[in-house]
Amino acid sequence: MKAVILAAGMATRLRPLTDACPKCLLEVGGKPILGRAIDALLACGIGELVVVTGYKGEMIRERVGRDYPALKVSWVDNARYAETNNAYSLMLSEPAASEPFLLLDSDILFSAGLVKALMDCPERPCIALDRHPCTEEEMKILVRPDGYLADIGKTLVPAACAGESIGFEIFDEASRAELFATLRKRIVGEGRENEYYEASFKEMSGRGTRFKVVDTSAFPAMEIDSAADLERARATFGA
């Protein structure tokens, strides 16, 4: 299994820290956020990556090449990173993501245990859930009584939702093909270049694709979106 990592964004909410450094290379506990992610993936036996870069992509390539010289990485460039969103970046990964894959963003601190919990799920596609009370800001998940995805999005009523999507999903060959077809339909066919990839999950689910929801709350993850998030991460993991 490959891992597709999206690392194209400009992270404007973290300026001025990201004026000279892409967010995924900011250090927590003396190691880049992306390096921590790669270590966790390697610990789970995932040794082949597809990484979509954009903003300061050469810095990311140089650092990964220096720190992991033997790692097999397919690099994809989103030259339109300033005007598109992560769904567009994911769509660009299709030629390199030519087999079942784990999808994640490059700005998340997580443990190998979280990845293993998702990989142990026998159903595909599956999506990780951090079960906690939500606010308006999170990418929220509504779960059906049978444990499958009912709805996903930022505009869902927080009190009705089981928790937050933390940005980890696994796709098998059939769901992989449907995912990229849906992305192309929405982005190329309908001009939705600036949307989150979860909108495609929502459409797939509405057509009957069953996303198994995996509760990974036992393995907390921390998304780094703001300076306050970074401070909390460094307080937890060491500066």
For 135-179, write each residue's pLDDT tens digit.
888 899 999 999 999 999 999 999 999 999 999 999 999 999 999
Query: According to the model, what pLDDT value does residue 77 have?
Result: 97
Averaging pLDDT over each range in 19-23, 56-60, 132-136, which range is the top one? 56-60
**Mean of pLDDT values over 80-90:** 96
Is residue 131 within 8 Å of 217, Cβ to Cβ? yes
Mean of the per-residue pLDDT values of the chain: 94
pTM: 0.93
For 110-120, write each residue's pLDDT tens digit.
999 999 999 99
Res. 239: pLDDT tops 70: no
Res. 75: pLDDT tops 90: yes
The lowest-confidence range among 83-97, 123-137, 174-188, 218-232 is 218-232
Q: Which runs of E-coded beta strand occur in 80-211?
A: 101-105, 108-109, 126-130, 140-143, 149-153, 163-171
Short-list 150, 171, 169, CA closest to 160: 150
CB hemisphere CA count around 132 (13 angstroms): 16
Domains and CATH numbers, the chain: 2-237 (3.90.550.10)
- Plot region of 2 (φ>0 → left; ψ -120 to 50 → alpha; else → beta): beta
Query: According to the model, what pLDDT value does residue 17 have?
Result: 81
For 24-46, write each residue's pLDDT tens digit.
999 998 899 999 999 999 999 99
Is residue 201 within 8 Å of 169, Cβ to Cβ? yes
